[in-house]
Amino acid sequence: MLIFTTGIDPLGHLVGPIEERRQPARSIRGVLAVGLLAAAILVLASRPTSAAECQPTAKQDFLPAAPAWTGQSESLVVPSGDPWITPAEQTDLTDTPSYGETLAFLRRLEGASPLIRMQTFGRTSQGRDLVVAVAGVDLPRLGPLDLAALSRSGRPILLAQAGIHAGEIDGKDAGLMLLRDIAMRGKEDLVGNAIFVFMPIFNVDGHERRSPCNRPNQRGPLHQGWRTTAQNLNLNRDYMKLDAPEMRAALTLINMLRPHLYLDLHVTDGIDNAYDITFGFNGDEGSYTWSPSISKWLEMVWKPAVTGALSGAGHIPGPLIEAIDNLLPLAGLEGGSMAPKFSHGYGDLRHLPTVLVENHSLKPYRQRVLGTYVLLEASLKVLAQSGGALGQAIAMDEADRPPRVGSGLERPKTPTGKRDFEAMASENYTSRVTDRMEIRWLGKPAETIKVNIYESKPIKMLTRPTAYWVPITKPEVIERLQLHGIRMEVQQQPHTVPVTMALLQAPKLAEKFDEGHVALECEERVKLQNGCIKYEPRDEAFPAGSVRVPTDQPLGNLAILLLDPDSDDSLLRWGFFSEILQRTEYLEDYVLVPMAEAMMTENPAIEAEFEKWLKDNRDKAKEPKERLQWFYKQTDYFDQRWNLYPVGIERPR
């Protein structure tokens, strides 16, 4: 007989038949058993991942009260009978649509307006399409949209990204409303001199793990996605290492579009405060930046325009803030630059103007969505007016070749200044659960006060080399450099090159996983001028297929922080070279013991060095194996490539 099997497509929909095969006849009881089992599997597979079990009846009861709010931006919401009402507006901006409902609305908009086009730019690990909606004039109506051609149009591009953390989805619903108004409600002038590229959902798989029980610390929407992808990766930690297919697709998109402005739309956690929408960028208020000309434009042009638009619409914009201590928020706030594993840190490093937007999680969803709409609209306006000046700032930073590049951003121990802070009222009490002082937010604004600010600074400055040499034996590293868009020179012939090589001193692996990796660290007892690294000159042989990565290029700073062995953000630190820690050749004790005894007898200097080592390493000196290893390292038999970082550093001669 024929057995027809039904499956589930990447979007979670039942499909079938997907397979047809001939099977020998079975008894009716057997067929019924198979059918019942298949039906049970289908029922389980088609159920929501967690919503069916979720009963968040008290979910919002533990949150502090939200202050009453009204603003002019409420006029952006269309009435219930409007034919182009968005799915979120149908719920009075209390809930958010699914992935399928979101795409259906965008496809309907695309079909009705020549100003809107949709384009797939990648797929998630579970096989869902990653999609952008493009709003602009003169877009081709037929065939796939050439995203690379948009960068050649001469008009500045705004790339806005929602849902990198899929529970923080305000940007998606704000973007749908803005696209609707551009296409159908008289705001087509917004894209007359600019192009709006909107990514409604970046972490699509996490978005579809939606439930009323996700993110109980956030006030709406009713259904929220999950923070990480189906591979349990946090996309906003993946900008340097590029593990996730979603991030690889996004970097390919960025390299094609070359956007003038990149907005990453989030919802914050942490302390309560009066702001409903906050934003920041590297270089903000004098913090460290790899792109000083871009940061100046963001500070002097974009920030005042957006702040004014938000304030005029009734919102309360503010700077990105994070309390040093969430139980004592007035003790100080952390600010400043962020490392390049985060979106705006990465954008700053590669000279892509990038702003991190953090709506406040305790403000109502309606208020947060409308604030995001105002920010997106204002960004398009300022880009259309001042995109030329921003383009010049980008070119200036891309042409700059600073002799030293900062790495390892870290919060200082002492304040770097003071900042006005619009706080919310709170009180402290002792909890019988934690038996410590806790904080209770009272849901009403307090006075604006000045608090200490701690601006993150680089802990080291890396000297710019001429180039790095990456051997063909590291294809996964070469692939990531290509994905970043870094220019490389592929060697068609083998070369022996005089380079500086890094020999790791007492390296160790971190005790915890970090985004699927085990980071490389060093033992704190090692006190060298360069931390865990001893540099030495070598004539290194690089086989054909190896690559030379010059730093004299627009993405040269990015290449330095990815490849320099002393970079805190390097692929080495992420664990991409952990195989160098493994020794694969040994010398047997029955050979090494008499050899070591002879070395001491024949060379008094060796004996003196050994005695000094015993004195300086009392713990290891108790172990016979450690003693023998000391002698082994003094011989030519020892593996001279153990702990050797295989990337060569070419420095000026």
pLDDT tens-digit readout, 594-647:
999 999 999 999 999 999 999 999 998 899 999 998 998 899 888 888 999 999
pLDDT < 50 positions in the chain: 1-51, 526-529
Tell me which residue has tokens 């009846």.
57
> Would you state the structure tokens that stand for residue 332, as one six-digit string?
């100080």
Distance CA 261, CA 279 (A): 14
Q: Which one, of 228, 147, 204, 253, lies nearest residue 484 by Cα?
A: 253
Among 311, 319, 308, 321, which residue's Cα sits nearest to residue 285?
319
Q: For position 523, what pLDDT does the model report?
A: 67
Q: Are 169 and 266 in contact (CB under 8 A)?
A: no
Q: How many CB atoms lie within 10 A of CB 230?
A: 19
Task: Give the dihedral of Cα atoms 518, 524, 527, 531; nearest 10 deg.
Answer: 30
Q: Are 571 and 515 in contact (CB under 8 A)?
A: no
In a domain, residue 429? The reply is no
- Looking at residue 121, what is its pLDDT? 97
**Would you say residue 427 lies in a domain?**
no
The verdict on residue 405 lying in a domain is no
Task: Locate the DSSP E strands across 272-337.
Answer: 277-280, 317-319, 322-323, 333-336
| Cβ–Cβ < 8 Å for 335, 319 | yes
State how many domains the chain has: 4
586 residue type, one letter: Y
78 and 39 in a single domain? The answer is: no
Which CA distances in Å does 368 have to 42, 71, 224, 471?
38, 11, 14, 49
Mapped onto helix, strand or coil, the DSSP state of residue 294 is helix
560 and 594 assigned to the same domain:
no
The CATH number for 309's domain is: 3.40.630.10
> Left, alpha or beta for 180 (phi > 0: left; psi -120 to 50: alpha)?
alpha
Tell whether 186 and 250 lie within a shared domain. Answer: yes
Residue 416 lies in a domain: no
Domain final position from 382, 400, 418 = 400
Same domain, 119 and 239: yes
Q: What's the token pair of residue 200?
A: 């409604």
Residue of 502, 565, 498, 572 lying closest to 535 (CA atoms)? 502
3-state SS assignment for residue 55: coil
Characterize the bridge pairing of strands 317-319 and 644-650.
Answer: unpaired
Tell me: the pLDDT tens digits for 364-401?
999 999 999 999 999 999 999 999 999 999 999 999 99
Cis peptide bond N-terminal to 259, omega within 30: no
The number of angstroms, rounded, from the C-alpha of 372 to the middle of its chain's C-alpha atoms is 20
Give CA–CA dist 633/626, Å, rounded. 11
Asked whether residue 510 is domain-assigned, the answer is: yes
Token pair in block for residue 293:
């000309």
> How far are the Cα atoms of 91, 502, 524 from residue 563, in angstroms, in the given order?
49, 11, 23
348 lies in the same domain as 481: no
Q: Give burial (CB, 10 Å; 0-12/13-18/19+) of 171.
A: buried
Domain C-terminal end among 400, 415, 447: 400
What is d(CA 285, CA 100) in angstroms, rounded to the nearest whole number? Answer: 41
**Domain end among 380, 400, 420:** 400
CA dihedral sign, ordered 337, 342, 346, 347:
negative
Same structural domain, 17 and 77:
no
The per-residue pLDDT for 26 is 37
Number of residues in the chain:
653
> Which DSSP string corresponds to 618-646?
HHHHT-HHHHHHHHHHTSTTS-TTTTEEE
How far, in Å, CA of 446 to CA of 420, rounded? 12
For residue 205, tell me if it sits in a domain.
yes
Do 567 and 602 belong together in one domain? no
Three-state secondary structure along 122-190?
EECCCCCEEEEEEECCCCCCCCCCCHHHHCCCCCCEEEEEECCCCCCCHHHHHHHHHHHHHHHCCCHHH
127: left (phi over 0), alpha (psi -120 to 50) or beta: left
Q: Which of 367, 368, 350 is nearest to 359 (CA)?
A: 368
- Residues 308, 199 share a domain: yes
Q: Which domain holds residue 170?
A: 72-400
Same domain, 109 and 178: yes
What are the CA-CA distances from residue 109 to residues 115, 135, 373, 574 (Å)?
A: 9, 11, 18, 43
DSSP secondary structure letter of residue 68: P
Tokens for 509, please give them: 């692996």
Give the CB-side neighbour count of residue 94, counting CA atoms within 13 A: 4
Tokens of 160: 């806005």
Q: Is 157 inside any structural domain? A: yes
Is 458 within a domain? no
Whether 163 and 274 map to the same domain: the answer is yes
Residues 545-590 pLDDT 10s: 999 999 999 999 999 999 999 999 999 999 999 999 998 888 899 9
Cα distance between residue 621 and residue 614, in whole Å = 5
Provide the CB-side half-sphere exposure for 548 (13 A, CA).
Answer: 21
Residues 534 and 623 in one domain: no
Instruction: Of 67, 542, 477, 553, give the one whose Cα is nearest residue 240.
Output: 477
CB atoms within 10 A of CB 236: 24
Residues 11 and 145 in one domain: no
Contact 366, 308 (CB under 8 A): no
Model confidence pTM above 0.85? yes
